[in-house]
Structure 1
């Protein structure tokens, strides 16, 4: 009889274990909203899962053991949405409607300003120019870009860490810490926007990767202007950057050049978990990286010339020079047995020195077929 009851209720048990809920996020005009952040909290208000909607505004909730959860939906263009959900009773597609974030103010001053986020056919454009984050560096701006997540100093789009970073559509031939150092020494007041391209066209040669394209500002003011800036950051260790930017525009010619020098100590910490199925052990390693770099040099140059109303030529150069970086990596590792008890541990440490030189030069001729009407 006992075996018969197990056999009878086995399909129901399997269904409850494999239950998943599909949903969509739309606005008041019933337009589907891609790359919207959805956070899932349990009954103790602890975050247990974070997902993003896809290009069609759809998402799937699965792998959640709690019966009752709270959904928090966030997007820069819309008011925050919260909803409590009973997963056992939700038997149809969940539709979430976001409303514009409207606040009452006593006085209104009308100014012409680009929207912070603009969705295009193949990409999401995050407008940095004249925003409240333009005082940050490029690395911090990328971490705050909608659709981009970061963990252990690694950027990800829709959970994938396969990302190609470009500046003005030109590939940056750096990865890992070298790329991070370059972006940390690129100042936000020179950035116009960041484009998140989840399905990049062939010109990027992204090989299935998503693209983060940093669009730098162009000089639109006649004459000459120069900017000298510096920044000092004191966290666990001190870091600083100083630089100069020069702009010149006259008739059809436009020039821009900038140089930044960064120096400081960089400390990063990351935790790795490795589970072995055979003996049911878990290895937990904490990597502590401390690097000292006295000279990080970033150089950018751009020249544009308008031959006629349909033809433009441009010359672009970007360089990153780090003659000497030195530091230590220390990695303590704990090994847990199947009862989640530490049975052994070991410690590794190494020191290193490195140097980086990266140059990128491009020449572009842009010829339009006809004038815009």
Structure 2
């Protein structure tokens, strides 16, 4: 315990300590004729596992220097446009000048020469899991498919969650991207995973990042060290009930001071989902009127994704980056075809609704980053500016035919809706980080974000009374938000202890104005968000950890629009400008044995949880999907996980979670409290196989199963899926072909019930669960180049 108190004392009072010794390595690179080679790439590797430590390039005289290197045993290698030197091993205990590295006129691969052992597929660190994906069957697929097999990540019907939370942020190379959830799916589904080194699941995000996300997923790309050019073309085809197709190209270039990448893909997505909604409406005489709606939801979507990344090294200590990401969907056609049968109703026997909807969407964003290294000890100052423009237009024509109890036509109704939303986002952030003592680091920063949203709607032709706003009215809603934030964080390690802790402060001011109501909504809110993780490792076999955080979720911008739009005559989708932010608390403690077996206990609580709740209005026979706050949510449970290489070609990961959750909310129609309680569990397992002597054939077998669970104000029955994927590489890994099947036994359908007080209904969703997936990728150019692909995210864009 004294060893623990001592580092804490040093942390809080920032007493000075000695810096560790830092050494330098110098040398030259020659060709076989003993001529100096300018701008060759130098790779310094750990002799233990061949992992990259650092890299540099030679100057015009062929000389290089690596600074700030700690003592130890290393490997070093030079390369230049396909030619490589032999690997040199050496011990570093003082400043060292190495013998010349000689480039040979060969095309041997680095991993054929220096890789002596594979990285573990899953690594557990103090605040995150690191999933190494390079040798899986999904490595030449897309990033979205890789996320589906990432430990702790759950993706069901394209909905992303980690540890039961859907407040998940995405980063690439440590930089946050921030686009709407649907656009994230589209972007990552069109982004090749061939250059992904690992995926980090950050279960306790540092205070540097917004307090919005409970979990961050960081997609780490391979280092772009080798100079030159390469490119790739790829094609992915998926067959369900309907075909889906993506074609794209990547291009990467690295010079002495510049890195440039351009990525484009075109997707043509077609999918169909079937719904069966059964609602029992109580009548005045005590009987029930049962409405059974069979809906076919057909979606056709054409999408263009563009991204441009440019990095320029102004000097050895300063870098400038420009990024642009654009997602353009010029054609989104949706058809909702609904047949509703009525029993026990004296007015109609049935009605048919055909909803033809069209949407166009543009989401374009621009980022500028500047990084300045200060001094020689690792101090760094960085600035970021960002702007996003989002423009969406929706139009729908809803036609309904009503039939009387004898089957004759009783009436018709045509109803049109035109809606639009325009959002401008901009942010500015400055960060400073510096070492503190031998093994510590402190970070601090300031941030401002501004949001301006304008929404409008025009509805004409509807002649039926129902709760909510006047459905035939036109209106505008303006929403503005300003967020000011500051943070400080500290990380350090001493002997057997590791610590990360931080505090973030956020002040938010929101204003909403709706032209249909005279009031002007304004809120001001200041909150503190502490977080901390601590790990104790008495020896190499045992690890103990404890972590805690407090976070916030602000309403998505479309959920606060006070409009009521119709999917059919029977169902509406509604926003609520009075939504409150949600706050979340999470604490967990765990034990890991031999880096393979983990048990973790957790407790979480949420106030004013944000959800889309389903309520039936019995007076008007209406099913309403309303953005709402849950009063309280809490859950406690245990996670059990296994991660182990049983042989040199087989890796197994298993996660089983058992928990009890409780949701408390108010019934909209009665304004009385409702409490739902459920014991639930889920299991997921990933099994990876490396086959053939050269490991050019890989296979992944994955299973997900979820027992009955709660979601919003509904209870869901159990569902699951078994997936199998193969990948084969050819021609020295330049060509890869993948083939697989998702949800082999078609068990991913979801059935939910709502049965409390005056609510009595069920819903069954049947999607395209069983999918045949094929992929083809071909690389050209300098195959050793690694991309500098990274993407951005500012903290408000995921709420679009």
Q: TM-score, normalised by structure 2?
A: 0.29
CA contact (8 A) 1:219 1:256 kept: no
CA contact (8 A) 1:186 1:298 kept: no
Corresponding residue for 1:54?
Answer: none
The answer to whether structure 1 residue 242 and structure 2 residue 259 are counterparts is no
The answer to whether structure 1 residue 171 and structure 2 residue 190 are counterparts is no
The answer to whether structure 1 residue 304 and structure 2 residue 303 are counterparts is no
In structure 2, distance between residues paired with 1:270 and 1:126? 36
More helix by share: 1
CA shift digits 1:43-99 (9 cap, x unpaired) = xxxxxxxxxxxxxxxxxxxxxxxxxxxxxxxxxxxxxxxxxxxxxxxxxxxxxxxxx
CA contact (8 A) 2:169 2:176 kept: no
CA contact (8 A) 2:169 2:213 kept: no
Deviation at 1:157, TM superposition (A): 0.9
User: Aligned runs of 1:337-356 on 2, under 5 Å?
Assistant: 350-356=355-361
Relative to structure 1, is the Cα distance of residues 233 and 365 closer, same or farther in structure 2, using a 3 angstrom cutoff?
Answer: same
Relative to structure 1, is the Cα distance of residues 149 and 249 closer, same or farther in structure 2, using a 3 angstrom cutoff?
Answer: same
CA shift digits 1:168-195 (9 cap, x unpaired) = 42232212x3332222222222434322
Corresponding residue for 1:203?
Answer: 208
More strand by share: 2
The answer to whether structure 1 residue 184 and structure 2 residue 189 are counterparts is yes
In structure 2, distance between residues paired with 1:356 and 1:283? 34
Corresponding residue for 2:717?
Answer: none
User: Aligned runs of 1:30-69 on 2, under 5 Å?
Assistant: none
The answer to whether structure 1 residue 293 and structure 2 residue 301 are counterparts is yes
Q: TM-score, normalised by structure 1?
A: 0.57
Corresponding residue for 1:326?
Answer: 333
Deviation at 1:325, TM superposition (A): 0.7
Deviation at 1:274, TM superposition (A): 9.0
Report how many residues are paired.
257
Of the two structures, which has the highest relative contact order with CA contacts closer than 8 Å and spacing of 6 or more?
2
Relative to structure 1, is the Cα distance of residues 367 and 227 closer, same or farther in structure 2, using a 3 angstrom cutoff?
Answer: same
CA contact (8 A) 2:190 2:267 kept: yes
Corresponding residue for 1:16?
Answer: none
In structure 1, distance between residues paired with 2:172 and 2:273? 25
Deviation at 1:275, TM superposition (A): 11
In structure 2, distance between residues paired with 1:267 and 1:237? 7
Q: Which moved further from structure 2: 202-211 or 282-291? A: 282-291
CA contact (8 A) 2:195 2:221 kept: yes
Deviation at 1:147, TM superposition (A): 0.6
Corresponding residue for 1:57?
Answer: none
Deviation at 1:292, TM superposition (A): 0.9
2:120 to 95, 115, 118: 115
Q: What is the RMSD of the two structures over their aligned residues, measured on CA atoms?
A: 3.8
1:148 to 148, 153, 157: 153
In structure 1, distance between residues paired with 2:224 and 2:172? 16
In structure 1, distance between residues paired with 2:299 and 2:336? 9
Alignment gaps of 5+ in structure 2: 1-113, 344-348, 379-437, 439-800
Aligned to 1:315, what secondary structure does the other structure show?
strand
CA contact (8 A) 2:168 2:213 kept: no
Deviation at 1:322, TM superposition (A): 0.9
Relative to structure 1, is the Cα distance of residues 245 and 290 closer, same or farther in structure 2, using a 3 angstrom cutoff?
Answer: same
Relative to structure 1, is the Cα distance of residues 308 and 146 closer, same or farther in structure 2, using a 3 angstrom cutoff?
Answer: same
Aligned to 1:180, what secondary structure does the other structure show?
helix
Aligned to 2:366, what secondary structure does the other structure show?
strand
In structure 2, distance between residues paired with 1:129 and 1:246? 20
2:267 to 258, 262, 270: 262
CA shift digits 1:218-274 (9 cap, x unpaired) = 532211112122222222211221122111112222211111111131234578899
Corresponding residue for 1:315?
Answer: 322
In structure 2, distance between residues paired with 1:287 and 1:144? 31
Deviation at 1:116, TM superposition (A): 2.5
In structure 2, distance between residues paired with 1:283 and 1:119? 51
Corresponding residue for 2:26?
Answer: none
Largest Rg, 1 or 2: 2
In structure 2, distance between residues paired with 1:275 and 1:127? 50
In structure 2, distance between residues paired with 1:315 and 1:116? 33
Corresponding residue for 2:140?
Answer: 135
Relative to structure 1, is the Cα distance of residues 136 and 228 closer, same or farther in structure 2, using a 3 angstrom cutoff?
Answer: closer
Corresponding residue for 1:95?
Answer: none
CA contact (8 A) 1:164 1:206 kept: no
Corresponding residue for 2:230?
Answer: 225
Corresponding residue for 1:92?
Answer: none
CA contact (8 A) 2:190 2:248 kept: no
Corresponding residue for 1:82?
Answer: none
Deviation at 1:326, TM superposition (A): 0.4
